[in-house]
Amino acid sequence: MKLQLSLDFGRLDDAISILTDTHPYVDIIELGTPLLFREGLSALTTIKERYPEIDVLADLKIIDGGCYESGLAFEAGADFVTVLGAASDRTIEAAIETAEKFKKKIVVDLIGVKQTKQRIQQIDHTNADYVCLHTAMDDSKDKSIPVDDLAVAKTAATHIGIAIAGGINIHNILKILPHHPDIIVVGSGITQQPDKALAAMEIRKVMNGQQ
């Protein structure tokens, strides 16, 4: 299992400060949609230059222009780009084709998708690399992390990897681990903690079975 650190808010300097303390525990650095809105795609270049050994994900949540928009992110240094599962099949396919040209990866984010199992089965027939089960930030007070969807996803996917995101922290991660997702995405469970390095280290230990 890989740990993806979601850096959503603040400025690029804040992201760099957090990574200074947490990067030894992280497999994927996510520059979230709000941060990319604020700082632009050049933030991807800055982070990739600082941490060339760590994969960088651009959470663009592409809904159209799959080829062009994913290409911009890959050119800026992204290793992964997100496309919405609600996008058309052609948009998803265009992003995948672009990723293949760059030798990079596509994550299809299922945020807002109702027929999770059906959509995963459809995406499983593409060359996408991962699907992400994602509890929306605006829904996080009313919905828990999608553990039930994770169990379904593991049976629906034959080759595509599974990521899970939304409100994950040291207190609820044990509900997720028995289902063995490929990527666990943690944001505020690390970035909003008083000791961010300690929070990242504790989550990493639990993921490694060192409780």
Q: What confidence tens digit (pLDDT) does each residue in 125-136 have?
A: 999 999 999 887
Domain that holds residue 59: 2-207
Range 67-71 contact pairs with CB under 8 angstroms and sequence separation of 24 or more: 67/94, 67/95, 67/97, 67/98, 69/95, 70/94, 70/95, 70/98, 70/99, 70/106, 71/98, 71/102
Q: Is the dihedral of CA 78, 40, 27, 96 positive or negative?
A: negative
Nearest to 100 by CA among 68, 129, 76: 129
Indicate the burial class of 149 (C-beta count within 10 angstroms; 0-12, 13-18, 19 or more).
buried
**Residue % of the chain over a pLDDT of 90:** 86
Q: Is the pLDDT of residue 200 over 80?
A: yes
Structure tokens that stand for 188 in this block: 């505020």
CATH number of the domain that residue 29 is part of: 3.20.20.70
Apex 14 CA angle, 183 and 186, nearest 5: 20
Average pLDDT over residues 158-168: 94
Q: What is the pLDDT of residues 24-68, one digit of tens each?
A: 999 999 999 999 999 999 999 999 999 999 999 999 999 999 999
Q: What are the φ/ψ torsions at residue 3 (nearest 5 degrees)?
A: -100, 120
**Residue % of the chain over a pLDDT of 70:** 96
Q: Is the pLDDT of residue 88 over 80?
A: yes
pLDDT tier, 154 (very low <50, low <70, confident <90, very high otherwise): confident
Q: Is the pLDDT of residue 139 over 80?
A: no
Q: Is the pLDDT of residue 141 over 70?
A: no
Q: Is the pLDDT of residue 143 over 70?
A: no
pLDDT tier, 145 (very low <50, low <70, confident <90, very high otherwise): confident
Question: How many domains does the structure of the chain reveal?
Answer: 1
Torsion-angle region of 10 (φ positive above 0: left; ψ -120 to 50: alpha; else: beta): left
Q: Distance (Å, rounded) from C-alpha 194 to C-alpha 186?
A: 15
Q: Distance (Å, rounded) from C-alpha 187 to C-alpha 18?
A: 11
- Say which range, 78-82, 118-122, 134-138, 187-191, has the weakest mean pLDDT: 134-138
